[in-house]
Amino acid sequence: MKFDTPAETNPIDRLTIVGKPLDRIDGPLKTTGRAPYAYEHHGAAPNQAHGVIVGATIAKGRIRRLDTARAEAAPGVVAVVTAESAGKLGKGEHNTATLLGGPEIEHYHQAIALVVAETFEQARAAAVLVEVEYERAKGAFDLAGERNGAEKPEKVNDSPPDTAVGNFESAFGTADMTLDETYTTPDESHAMMEPHASLAFWEGRKLTLYTSTQMVAWTKKDLAKTLGIEPDDVHVVAPFIGGGFGGKLFLRADALLAALGARAAGRPVKVALQRPMIFNNTTHRPATIQRIRIGANRDGVITAIGHECWSADLEGGKPDGAVDQTRMLYAGANRMTATRLETLDLPESNSMRAPGEATGMMALEIAMDEMAEKLGIDPVEFRIRNDTQVVPDDPKAEKSGAENGQRRFSQRPFVECLRLGAEKFGWSRRSARPGSTREGGWLIGHGMASAFRNNMSVKSAARVRLTPQGGVVVETDMTDIGTGSYTIIAQTAAEMMGVPLERVTVRLGDSSFPVSAGSGGQFGGNCSTAGVYAACVKLREAVSGKLGFNQADLTFADGQVNAGGRSVALTEAVKDGELVEEDGIEFGDISKKAQQSTFGSHFVEVAVDAWTAEIRVRRMLAVCASGRILNPKTARSQVIGAMTMGVGAALLEELVVDKRAGFFVNHDLAQYEVPVHADIPHQEVIFLDEADPMSSPMKAKGIAELGICGVAAAVANAVYNATGVRVRDYPVTLDKLIERMPDAA
């Protein structure tokens, strides 16, 4: 199904099952421990051996000598794989760093060997016996230190690295009020619950891989490409994924080495990345240095806005897209953005939840708070005053054929999000004067920020089947990474076919199913259900043909098909056997004609200990506008998780770089801290009631990444309001506050 005109009224609009806050259909499997994760497919193949990865202990250089003899002779060892023994390997389209290193070493903990043994313990013991001598090369590890060597990348996502509208320099130079500040965000790790893990086995030239991935089709293609085999000879299975946050978008070392290990051992091999290996072996969110300049007139109208970002990656990598939202979020006649990329020899930089906006909003939304204060305007009001209904700096406008060269947003209820948030949070009771609200030993502060994240459209297919018993079976290679895909897909099929939810079976995460959008970029929910919608439209046509209806406007409800006063049981259509149909959604120019984005607001109350500067988050509110909410319960869980992650970014998360040795020092969950339940006492989420006919027949947009964008700045702004101390260097930790705290007495 080609989607190139706005969605009209369709069967989803009945909202008898879609739009309801239903429990996850996979919930019981998960809460009882019966949902098999990648390392747990014990019955999938007999005689499974265990592989343990050996990681490089230098950041850059060469292996001079690699001796596996002692490891091979260790008890239980079945095989040892190295780059040399593996032979020539290709590289996946989505990989920057080589997944099996040697003799060249590109980053710390790059995999250089896999030791396969009968048990995990034997493999781990033998892995220590692999002897490696290195020739160390000088590497670059310091983002701030290498800033002068930064280069202009070819592009940032699919936009040019630099953009300009009007004359920024002159407008900034003559503005009534200006702000010019630099903000920094650290390297961050996804820290998902389930480690990267894979089980591989070969049957002749056919490879089966049970793995933990967000993108089944990418894994299949890139594994085939790396191994130099046909994609059709790779079968990827990923029914349950314990989180990813972007860290499992791409083929990783566990999958490749499980496949190589299984080939070397001649039997099934499974490999999990031990937690201390994940932080340096896999990808991470890159640190950024962001300079923001804003000029405004006395009335608080922005006349100039500029955003520059520096980030780094390995050779051949890509920059962070932190300036992206600054092209779209606020009005202003004169503007500029610029992105620069440095080459560092740290582990690979790549996507992490809302890549671009997540870091960009951390900086921009502190800058907006600072500017509002300078102007003496309430921060909510300052944002409302600079709202825009067209995209102010839009490299894509020209190609879209938009009127006056300006594209509108498909929908933009941004001001509503701000107003509703302020009202529900009780913003008017906030004291604008920093450090002026006290409760005993605590300084109380309130902060807010906007939320913004783009909505992306990715084609997605599915197969649906109506069984003679009246059940509906959906098959698509979509993944459920803890997001609720199983449930919203079941809701979609049930709504379309007019059957209760219990009659729908959803099968996901298998490369033998039609290729879906996968889970990434907050596009999974809208796109995968739109694909299921398309397949169901075909199945409805097949049913209608079988039952001899010639009308176009049939109703499928309560297991009956109705039209023109005639009502026939759905099962009549399958009395001679099941019906199977397959289709997908493909997005035409509609996604380019208008800008599709999601909007929101975040409000936070913190308490800061007047003596120790310990920061406690007290309550949080998010208001989100994301098109139709397919399931308010799973959507709310997504936003709450994202808000929690935003608090992590604000207060806790930082990969500490050893700038001499070139690695992330705190590579475990004891030292890389993320918020836990007790850190967040109260969170509330409000969804605006809307539907976006430009997004898909589902009229939904992404929600899971919107929820993180802006949160950290709202927290930082609340800390400022509490203490009067402005921290522009994340995370906001007490050591950055304590010297400047107001007199505790």
Residues with active-site annotation: 705
Q: Which helix (H) or strand (E) holds 570?
A: none
Find the part of the chain contacting ligand MOS (CB under 6 A) among 244-252, 328-336, 372-380, 458-466: 244-252
Which region holds residue 715: left if phi is over 0, alpha if psi is between -120 and 50, else beta? alpha
Task: Please state, in angstroms and rounded to a whole number, the distance separating the CA atoms of residues 228 and 217.
Answer: 16
The reply on whether position 19 binds ligand MOS by CB under 6 A is no
Write down the least CB distance from residue 524 to ligand MOS, Å: 9
Find the part of the chain contacting ligand MOS (CB under 6 A) among 96-104, 331-339, 347-355, 565-573: 347-355
Q: Which residues contact 735 (CB under 8 A, 6 or more apart)?
A: none
Task: Please state, in angstroms and rounded to a whole number, the distance separating the CA atoms of residues 162 and 184.
Answer: 20
Write down the least CB distance from residue 359 to ligand MOS, Å: 12
Q: Which one of 101, 306, 355, 627 is in contact with ligand MOS (CB under 6 A)?
A: 355
Nearest residue to ligand MOS on Cβ basis:
246
Cβ-based neighbour number of residue 579 at 10 Å: 18
Write down the least CB distance from residue 138 to ligand MOS, Å: 32
| CB contact at 8 A, 454 and 396 | no
Find the part of the chain contacting ligand MOS (CB under 6 A) among 240-248, 390-398, 560-568, 664-672: 240-248
Q: Give, to the nearest 10 degrees, the angle between helix 485-497 and helix 524-546.
A: 30
What are the residues facing 68 on neighbouring strands?
none
Q: What is each CA distance from 281 to 100, 156, 198, 519, 573, in whole angstroms?
A: 10, 24, 15, 22, 53
If DSSP codes are grouped into helix, strand and coil, which group holds residue 300? coil
Nearer to ligand MOS, 455 or 717 (CB): 455
Nearer to ligand MOS, 55 or 520 (CB): 520
Farthest-apart Cα atoms in the chain, separation = 84
How many residues make up the chain in this entry?
745
Nearer to ligand MOS, 11 or 600 (CB): 600
Question: Quick one: tokens of 376?
Answer: 């003496």
Radius of gyration of the chain (CA): 27
Write down the least CB distance from residue 93 to ligand MOS, Å: 16
Write down the least CB distance from residue 206 to ligand MOS, Å: 29
Nearer to ligand MOS, 255 or 543 (CB): 255
The reply on whether position 356 binds ligand MOS by CB under 6 A is no
| Site size for ligand MOS (CB under 6 A) | 11
Q: Which one of 352, 620, 625, 694 is in contact with ligand MOS (CB under 6 A)?
A: 352
Nearer to ligand MOS, 113 or 508 (CB): 508
Nearer to ligand MOS, 130 or 215 (CB): 215
Cβ-based neighbour number of residue 184 at 10 Å: 17
Write down the least CB distance from residue 91 to ligand MOS, Å: 21
Q: Which helix (H) or strand (E) holds 692?
A: none
Task: Please state, in angstroms and rounded to a whole number, the distance separating the CA atoms of residues 59 and 45.
Answer: 37
Residue 499 exposed, middle or buried by CB count within 10 Å (0-12, 13-18, 19+): buried
Site for ligand MOS in 590-629 (CB under 6 A): none
Q: Which one of 219, 351, 450, 721 is in contact with ligand MOS (CB under 6 A)?
A: 351
Nearer to ligand MOS, 214 or 723 (CB): 214
Q: Exposed e or buried b for every residue in 581-594, given b needs 16+ CB within 10 A? A: bbbbbbbeebbbbb
Nearer to ligand MOS, 214 or 601 (CB): 214
If DSSP codes are grouped into helix, strand and coil, which group holds residue 699? coil
Q: Which helix (H) or strand (E) holds 486?
A: helix 485-497
Write down the least CB distance from residue 158 to ligand MOS, Å: 14
Write down the least CB distance from residue 351 to ligand MOS, Å: 4
Task: Please state, in angstroms and rounded to a whole number, the distance separating the CA atoms of residues 39 and 530.
Answer: 31
Nearer to ligand MOS, 155 or 566 (CB): 155
E runs forming strands in 489-589: 504-507, 555-557, 560-563, 566-569, 579-587
The reply on whether position 214 binds ligand MOS by CB under 6 A is yes
Q: Which residues contact 677 (CB under 8 A, 6 or more apart)?
A: none
Q: Which one of 24, 60, 263, 353 is in contact with ligand MOS (CB under 6 A)?
A: 353
Q: Which one of 239, 246, 445, 697 is in contact with ligand MOS (CB under 6 A)?
A: 246
Site for ligand MOS in 488-527 (CB under 6 A): 520-521
Task: Please state, in angstroms and rounded to a whole number, the distance separating the CA atoms of residues 535 and 514.
Answer: 11
Nearer to ligand MOS, 122 or 283 (CB): 283
Going residue by residue from 521 to 540, which x/- string records binding to ligand MOS, judged by CB under 6 A? x-------------------
Question: Quick one: tokens of 513?
Answer: 């199913």
Write down the least CB distance from residue 704 to ligand MOS, Å: 8
What are the residues facing 289 on neighbouring strands?
184, 310
Find the part of the chain contacting ligand MOS (CB under 6 A) among 242-250, 632-640, 667-675, 707-715: 242-250
Nearer to ligand MOS, 245 or 720 (CB): 245
Write down the least CB distance from residue 523 to ligand MOS, Å: 8
Task: Please state, in angstroms and rounded to a whole number, the distance separating the CA atoms of residues 708 and 712.
Answer: 8
Write down the least CB distance from residue 286 to ligand MOS, Å: 12
Q: Give, to the nearest 10 degrees, the angle between helix 711-723 and helix 357-375.
A: 30
Find the part of the chain contacting ligand MOS (CB under 6 A) among 345-353, 364-372, 570-578, 603-611: 345-353
Find the part of the chain contacting ligand MOS (CB under 6 A) among 94-102, 241-249, 333-341, 566-574: 241-249
Q: Which residues contact 32 (CB under 8 A, 6 or more apart)?
A: none
| CB contact at 8 A, 444 and 605 | yes
Q: Give, to the nearest 10 degrees, the angle between helix 632-651 and helix 711-723.
A: 50
Site for ligand MOS in 381-410 (CB under 6 A): none
Find the part of the chain contacting ligand MOS (CB under 6 A) among 35-43, 337-345, 352-360, 407-415: 352-360
Task: Please state, in angstroms and rounded to a whole number, the distance separating the CA atoms of residues 63 and 660.
Answer: 19
If DSSP codes are grouped into helix, strand and coil, which group holds residue 73? coil
Find the part of the chain contacting ligand MOS (CB under 6 A) among 57-65, 194-202, 350-358, 401-409: 350-358
Q: Which one of 192, 249, 594, 625 is in contact with ligand MOS (CB under 6 A)?
A: 249
Q: Which amino acid is at 321?
A: G
Nearer to ligand MOS, 352 or 725 (CB): 352
Write down the least CB distance from residue 249 to ligand MOS, Å: 5
Nearer to ligand MOS, 244 or 306 (CB): 244
Write down the least CB distance from residue 245 to ligand MOS, Å: 6
Q: Which amino acid is at 63?
A: I
Query: Nearest-5° angle of CA 358, CA 449, CA 386?
Result: 105
What are the residues facing 517 on neighbouring strands?
none
Given the structure tokens 């006395």, which residue do they identify?
Answer: 298
Task: Please state, in angstroms and rounded to a whole number, the distance separating the CA atoms of residues 716 and 362.
Answer: 9
Find the part of the chain contacting ligand MOS (CB under 6 A) among 225-233, 239-247, 319-327, 427-435: 239-247
Residue 510 exposed, middle or buried by CB count within 10 Å (0-12, 13-18, 19+): middle
The reply on whether position 709 binds ligand MOS by CB under 6 A is no
- In the complex, the residues that contact ligand MOS under the rule CB under 6 A are 214, 244-246, 249, 351-353, 355, 520-521
